């Protein structure tokens, strides 16, 4: 796979990942461009033994940290961890076999976790709208979503351990 193909295929994913870290479209685009520049310079070092997306996300995350170190802003590490968890869920959903396992587990989850996770992930609703649907607050929707996401990640880790 040449650099142009990697750039075309993964730019949007890397951009969305960086945007989830910084919550600023302009900064996310700048960091994503810088990340792909670093990728271009280091492409020969990539041996292909790991998923290229993980490698690209690592470069983007490190570029994000460097960017904010230079601008002397504090980074909310909790937000970074949450974003990494989101990337983990997205990776599971992009893999056909894993996606089926996630959907099976989702089907067995109790409400409201199942519905809140589905509305947020597949329906792309804001926490405010989800809270409104349930007659609750956006904070309640956020906590419920994160608990559901944690359950799914733990379940997928157990499944991966069983496979190994």
Question: Which domains occur in the chain, in start order?
Answer: 3-70 (1.10.1740.10), 77-163 (1.10.10.10)
72 compared with 9, residue with greater pLDDT: 9
User: According to the model, what pLDDT value does residue 135 have?
Assistant: 92
At residue 137's C-alpha, the angle toward residues 132 and 141, to 5°, is 85
pTM of structure: 0.45
Look up tokens 């109790």; give the residue.
Answer: 110
User: According to the model, what pLDDT value does residue 113 have?
Assistant: 87
Considering the chain, what is the average pLDDT of its residues?
A: 77
Give the Cα separation of 129 and 104 in Å (integer): 26
Give the Cα separation of 46 and 101 in Å (integer): 30
Give the Cα separation of 136 and 128 in Å (integer): 9
Sign of the alpha-carbon torsion through 105, 110, 113, 117 = positive
Look up tokens 């597949």; give the residue.
Answer: 122
Phi, psi (deg, nearest 5) at residue 112? -90, 0
Q: What's the rounded mean pLDDT across residues 11-25? A: 84
Q: Are the C-beta atoms of residues 20 and 83 closer than 8 Å to each other?
A: yes
User: According to the model, what pLDDT value does residue 91 have?
Assistant: 54
Poorest-pLDDT segment among 36-40, 55-59, 78-82? 78-82
150 compared with 92, residue with greater pLDDT: 150
């Amino acid at each position: 796979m040449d650099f142009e193909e990697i750039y075309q295929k993964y730019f949007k994913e890397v951009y969305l990942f960086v945007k989830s870290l910084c919550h600023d479209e302009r900064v996310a685009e700048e960091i994503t461009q810088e990340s792909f520049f670093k990728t271009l310079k280091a492409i020969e070092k990539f041996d292909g033994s790991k998923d290229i997306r993980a490698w690209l996300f690592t470069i983007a995350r490190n570029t994000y940290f460097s960017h904010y170190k230079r601008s002397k802003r504090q980074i909310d590490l909790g937000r970074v961890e949450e974003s990494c968890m989101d990337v983990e869920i997205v990776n599971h959903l992009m893999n056909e076999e894993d996606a089926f396992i996630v959907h099976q587990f989702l089907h067995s989850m109790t409400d409201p976790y199942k519905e809140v996770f589905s509305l947020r992930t597949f329906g792309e609703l804001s926490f405010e709208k989800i809270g409104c649907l349930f007659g609750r607050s956006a904070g309640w929707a956020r906590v419920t979503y994160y608990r559901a996401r944690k359950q799914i990640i733990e379940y997928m880790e157990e499944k991966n351990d069983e496979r190994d």
